[in-house]
Amino acid sequence: MLGSLNTRVMLEYLPDIWQGFLSTLMLSTTGFAGALTLGIIACALSIQPVRWLRAPATVYIDAVRATPLLAQLYFLYFGLPRLGIVLPEILIGIIVLSLNSGAYVAEIIRSGILAISRGQVEAAISSGMTYLQRMRLIILPQALRPTISPLIGQAIVLVKDSSLLSLISVVELTRAGQMIAIDRFMPIEGLVATALAYLLLYYLLKLLAGIWSHQNRLPGRA
């Protein structure tokens, strides 16, 4: 079947695929930047001791993890205009990706922090450090190191999830692939072209993960 791929059509649509690729890259980076910000805030709220500050973080994380991304997307897409908030589709898309991924990022960072032994915290407290100093100097540097792989995993999920934005007519990779299918009745050519582009993004992220872990080895440790 692959032998019968119409590569001429694929090449013809290369500029569109390239546009889709750039668009997906942009959606994913902004979406993930938003997710990191939201995730860090939600995580910070969920581990601090004041209950009424913890509650909104818990509700947010649970609500996102319990519902499908597609439902979240439609909820904002149809819900926001009802509240009188009219945003461009692409912005709604980025908000949904950030909100969705942010909840998972919060959980990843939280598990890293909870893995730090009580003794580390006590040593820091005993030396007179403030809460913020403990976080910045002792807890986060240790907690974040093992979260980098799961975070990159989450970024990979986000890249793939961004394809759902094609449903609210944001032009990105999946949408670009569908155009080949629709214009030329060649669904396989469209799918293969987009799959290759997603694969490229995947390897870019894996490369990043590799470089990071190479640079951040503890000296003297494999």
Partner 1 sequence: MIEFTNLNKWFGSLHVLKDIDLAVTKGEVVVVCGPSGSGKSTLIRCINGLEPFQKGRLVVDGFDLGSSSVRLRELRMEVGFVFQSFNLYPHKTALENVTLAPIHVRGLSKAEADDRGRALLEKVGLADRMQSYPHQLSGGQQQRVAIARSLCMQPKIMLFDEPTSALDPEMINEVLDVMVSLAREGMTMMVVTHEMGFARKVADRVIFMDRGAIVETADPESFFTNPQSERSRDFLSKVLHH
| Residues 120-149 contacting partner 1, CB under 8 A | 120, 122-123, 125-130, 133, 137-138, 141-142, 145
Q: How far apart are CA 141 and CA 55, in angstroms?
A: 26
User: Could you tell me which residues come within 8 angstroms of residue 213 by beta carbon, excluding any fewer than 6 positions away?
Assistant: 148, 149
Backbone angles phi, psi at 128, to 5 degrees: 90, 10
Q: How far apart are CA 100 and CA 161, in angstroms?
A: 10
Q: How far apart are CA 190 and CA 139, in angstroms?
A: 47
Nearer to partner 1, 56 or 141 (CB): 141
**49: contact with partner 1 by CB under 8 A:** no
**2: contact with partner 1 by CB under 8 A:** no
**119: contact with partner 1 by CB under 8 A:** yes
CB of 142: closest distance to partner 1 in angstroms? Answer: 6
The position carrying tokens 């004041």 is 50
Q: How far apart are CA 164 and CA 166, in angstroms?
A: 5
**88: contact with partner 1 by CB under 8 A:** no
| Residues 157-196 contacting partner 1, CB under 8 A | none
Cα torsion through 148, 151, 153, 154, rounded to 10: 180
CB of 218: closest distance to partner 1 in angstroms? Answer: 6
Nearer to partner 1, 137 or 182 (CB): 137
Nearer to partner 1, 37 or 133 (CB): 133
**217: contact with partner 1 by CB under 8 A:** no
**Residue 15: how many other CB atoms lie within 10 Å:** 10
Nearer to partner 1, 2 or 218 (CB): 218
Site of interaction with partner 1 (CB under 8 A): 117, 119-120, 122-123, 125-130, 133, 137-138, 141-142, 145, 218-221
